[in-house]
Amino acid sequence: MAKVHVLNGVNLGGLGTRRPELYGTLTLNDIESMLRETFPGVDFEFRQTDHEGEMVGWVRDAVGSAGLVVNPGAWTHYSYALHDALEAVDVPKVEVHLSNVHAREEWRRRSVVSPAVDAVVAGMGAWGYRAAMGYVLGRSGGG
C-alpha cells in the first residue's frame, strides 16, 4: 500500500470558517475524508501545524514514502527552511493552494517553495488535493 504524506501548514486548521469565499467551506477533516474515499488503496499520513519547525520535521518523515502533498499556507512566500527540507526529500512532491494565488495580492504570487517541488496546483479548491494525489501516485507508480 502506497504511503502518502499530506501536510498542511499555518492557518489551515481554520478551513471551513476562515474566508470561505476564498478557501471554501470544507474543513481539513472533509478534505481528508474525500481523499480517503477517492484513493482507498493509499495509506495516508495527514498532518496540520502552525509551527514551521514541526512542518520541516514532518517533511523529513516523508523519506521513503510514495510522495508528499503540501499546502504550506503563508510559508509559501518566505520559508526557506521549508524549501530546503522539501529539496532534500527525494519523493514526488506537489505544492497545493486552495485559492488562485496568482490572481491575488502581488506578494502571494511568489513561492519560495515551488522550486523544491515537482508540481504546483492552485485555484482548484479541494479538488487540487485530488489532482496532486493523481500526480504523486502516477509518479510513484502507485496509480
Query: Which positions are catalytic?
Result: 23, 97
How many angstroms separate the CA atoms of 4 and 16, rounded?
23
Q: Check if the beta carbon of residue 68 is closer than 8 Å to that of residue 5.
A: yes
How many angstroms separate the CA atoms of 75 and 97, rounded?
12
Residue 115: burial class (beta carbons within 10 Å; 0-12, 13-18, 19+): exposed
Name the packing angle between helices 80-88 and 52-61 (round to 10°). 10
Q: Measuring CA to CA, which residue among 76, 75, 46 is closest to residue 61? A: 46
Grid cell, residue 126, equals: 479541494
